[in-house]
Amino acid sequence: SQKIEQNSEALNIQEGKTATLTCNYTNYSPAYLQWYRQDPGRGPVFLLLIRENEKEKRKERLKVTFDTTLKQSLFHITASQPADSATYLCALPSASKIIFGSGTRLSIRP
């Protein structure tokens, strides 16, 4: 079955720097991959979707890449701000379900 690994449980970044989070998956390449943001005590909120035929997707300060050869997606936040502090989850489809990675907790220090 498909498995997702997010590179680290926690990441500490200085404000203004670029944060880079990694998501690796096993087995088959999915038709798309998603990234979500989760704040403490709240449900995850959808951020970006990238399809298998897309190499890169951007939304404001967010950039996602998708390398189906490496079976990896990178999630970048440029010019990071303390308000970007949250847990970020990657997710991909598997049959009728969407499965999630365990998340990376990002902290942006002023």
Partner 1 sequence: SQTIHQWPATLVQPVGSPLSLECTVEGTSNPNLYWYRQAAGRGLQLLFYSVGIGQISSEVPQNLSASRPQDRQFILSSKKLLLSDSGFYLCAGHKTGWQETQYFGPGTRLLVL
The contact set with partner 1 (CB under 8 A) reads 32, 34, 36, 41-46, 49, 89, 91, 93, 96-103, 105
CB nearer partner 1, residue 28 or residue 46: 46
Contacts of 15 (CB under 8 A, 6+ apart): 80, 81, 82, 108, 109, 110
* In the complex, least distance from residue 44 CB atom to partner 1, rounded to whole angstroms: 5
Cα distance between residue 20 and residue 99, in whole Å: 21
* In the complex, least distance from residue 45 CB atom to partner 1, rounded to whole angstroms: 7
CB nearer partner 1, residue 91 or residue 108: 91
* In the complex, least distance from residue 16 CB atom to partner 1, rounded to whole angstroms: 27
Burial bucket for residue 86 (CB in 10 Å: 0-12, 13-18, 19+): buried
CB nearer partner 1, residue 18 or residue 26: 26
CB nearer partner 1, residue 78 or residue 94: 94
Burial bucket for residue 7 (CB in 10 Å: 0-12, 13-18, 19+): middle
